[in-house]
Amino acid sequence: MPPSSSELSLVRAQPRILRRLGREANPGDLIFRALAGLFATLVLITLLVMAVQMGHASLPSLRRFGPGFITSTEWDPVRDLFGAAPFIYGTLVSSFLALAIAVPVALGVALFLTELAPTWLRQPLAFVVELLAAIPSVVYGLWGIFALAPFLRDHVEPGLAKSLGFLPFFRGPRQGYGMLAGGIILAIMILPTIASVSREVFRAVPDTYREGALALGATQWESLRDVVLPFARSGLVGAIILGLGRALGETMAVTMVIGNRTEISASLFAPSYTMASVIANEFTEATGDLYLASLAEIGLLLFFVTLLLNIVARLLVWRVAMPSRAK
């Protein structure tokens, strides 16, 4: 493992003999590093154990369907025919829709809380945002059925259909329940995560950075855009990835409003189905080895989708941040 710059500077300051005793200058550091390393390993082991377990549970389905499982749109428990394509589509589209709605709003909220709001307002408002996170997902689901879906059906979707109906996204029958409802409810649920972590990230940016920019004559927006945001970029990406993770795996609330239909449709009004929802809906009742294995395989696929999206996100950040990354 290559030593970090702080380690090197410390080590180089020590007499040569101590360097030979090992990288750590004192036993306290050694224990600390071992302990931290142990727990980090624990995180990795937990994930590996989960992956192995999911893989093991999916074996019958993997053997029977092979790679065709990913592209097949059949989901027929009576005939033991299973395929994951509609669910993959539903998960990806609903999660990205949620991100598209939640990220701008969350960043706006975080910026408001750290930069724009009067000081007396900040704590109470932050508290209110965290209140959103405190609501259990089953409550969101029930609210979705009785408040959100009828609201969308009666007030939002007709308007969208009239003004944007030329796009394939806003066509077709409107029931309130569907991809749009699912995306919105996911957005509401991941908003507090992204907003709270982003707020902490913004708070950690030293005031000197902001003040320097303002002293040079920048407007507040410019100081944020050119100085604060680049500094906070990695933290913000971390916040967004946490939000994305939550969106991909959210079960209860989504399944109550998304319509639960195994169909791929471009329209946001159409009912859809996510991977997490189908597992939650059918796992408790499923009997039959192939059925259970197929559900487990969907869990495994979700795992890989998350992995893939994370790699893509990391590559993007690395590409953009590499030249300017000071640490």
Q: Taking a C-beta distance cutoff of 8 angstroms, is the pair 220, 246 a contact?
A: no
Residue among 67, 78, 162, 319 that touches other proteins (CB under 8 A): 78
CA atoms within 13 A on the CB side of 78: 0
Q: Which is nearer to other proteins, 97 or 246 (CB)?
A: 246
Report the site for other proteins in 248-277 (rule: CB under 8 A).
Answer: 248-252, 255-256, 259-262, 271, 273, 275-277
Q: Which is nearer to other proteins, 17 or 134 (CB)?
A: 134
> What does the alpha-carbon distance between residue 195 and residue 309 come to, in Å, rounded to a whole number?
21
Residues 6+ apart with CB under 8 A from 121: none
128 belongs to the binding site for other proteins (CB under 8 A):
yes
Give the binding-site size for other proteins (rule: CB under 8 A).
148
Q: Which is nearer to other proteins, 6 or 20 (CB)?
A: 6
Report the site for other proteins in 222-251 (rule: CB under 8 A).
Answer: 222, 224, 226-227, 232, 234-235, 238-239, 241-242, 244-246, 248-251
Q: CA-CA distances (angstroms) from residue 57 to 22, 285, 292, 295?
A: 45, 16, 8, 9
What are the contacts of 114-123 at 24+ separation with CB within 8 A? 114/199, 114/202, 114/203, 115/202, 115/220, 115/224, 116/220
Q: Which is nearer to other proteins, 95 or 169 (CB)?
A: 95
Give the interface segment with other proteins, choosing from 14-22, 63-71, 104-112, 157-165 (CB under 8 A).
104-112
Q: Which is nearer to other proteins, 170 or 250 (CB)?
A: 250
Q: Which two tokens stand for residue 199?
A: 């707020």
Q: Which is nearer to other proteins, 39 or 166 (CB)?
A: 39
Q: Which is nearer to other proteins, 141 or 169 (CB)?
A: 141
138 belongs to the binding site for other proteins (CB under 8 A):
yes
Q: Residue 259, SS3?
A: strand
Report the site for other proteins in 146-185 (rule: CB under 8 A).
Answer: 146-150, 153, 175-177
> What does the alpha-carbon distance between residue 107 and residue 192 come to, in Å, rounded to a whole number?
10
299 belongs to the binding site for other proteins (CB under 8 A):
yes
Minimum CB separation of residue 163 from other proteins in Å reads 19
Give the interface segment with other proteins, choosing from 14-22, 64-72, 161-169, 302-310 (CB under 8 A).
302-310
Going residue by residue from 35 to 74, which x/- string records binding to other proteins, judged by CB under 8 A? xxx-xxxxxx-xxxxx--xx--x-----------------
Minimum CB separation of residue 279 from other proteins in Å reads 6
Residue among 60, 70, 112, 321 that touches other proteins (CB under 8 A): 112
109 belongs to the binding site for other proteins (CB under 8 A):
yes
Q: Which is nearer to other proteins, 67 or 217 (CB)?
A: 217
Q: Which is nearer to other proteins, 62 or 280 (CB)?
A: 280
> What does the alpha-carbon distance between residue 293 and residue 49 come to, in Å, rounded to a whole number?
17
Residue among 16, 20, 79, 162 that touches other proteins (CB under 8 A): 79
